[in-house]
Amino acid sequence: MKIFTDSACDLAYAYLQENDVEVFPLTTLLDTGEYEDMIEIQADKVYEMIGRGGHPKTSQVSLEKFLSGFRKAAEAGESGIYISLSAKLSGTYQAANLAYQQLKEEFPDFDLRLVDSMSASAGEGLSVVEAIEMREAGFTLDEIESRVRFTAANVVSLFTVKDLNYLADGGRLSKSSAFFGGLLNIQPLLEVINGELVPVEKLRGRKKVMNRMYERLHDEADMIQEQNVFLCHSDDAEAIEEMRQYIEEHFHPRRIYVNTIGSTISSHTGLGTLGLFFLKKYE
Q: Give the burial class of 60: count Cβ atoms within 10 A of its Cβ; 0-12 exposed, 13-18 middle, 19 or more buried.
A: buried
pLDDT at res. 54:
84
List the CATH code of the domain at 155-279: 3.30.1180.10
**Burial class for 88, CB neighbours closer than 10 Å (0-12, 13-18, 19+):** middle
What is the pLDDT, as a whole number, of residue 223?
96
Which pLDDT does position 222 carry in this prediction?
96
pLDDT tens for the chain, residues 1 to 283: 999 999 999 999 999 999 999 999 999 998 889 999 999 999 999 999 888 988 899 999 999 999 999 999 999 999 999 999 999 999 999 999 999 999 999 999 999 999 999 999 999 999 999 999 999 999 999 999 999 999 999 999 999 998 777 676 655 555 555 555 555 678 889 999 999 998 899 898 899 999 999 999 999 999 999 999 999 999 999 999 999 999 999 999 999 999 999 999 999 889 999 999 999 999 8
At residue 22, the pLDDT reads 98
d(CA 240, CA 238): 6
- Whose CA is closest to 64, among 27, 29, 33, 32? 27
> Cβ contacts of residue 21 below 8 Å, gap of 6+?
3, 4, 5, 128, 132
Domain boundary assignment for the chain: 2-153, 155-279
Contact 202, 180 (CB under 8 A): yes
Task: Please give the CATH architecture assigned to the domain spanning 2-153.
Answer: 3-Layer(aba) Sandwich (3.40)
Q: Does the fold of domain 155-279 match that of domain 2-153?
A: no
Which runs of E-coded beta strand occur in 57-135?
57-59, 80-84, 112-116
CA angle 246, 271, 24 (to 5 degrees): 95
Please give the model's pTM, rounded to 2 decimal places: 0.93
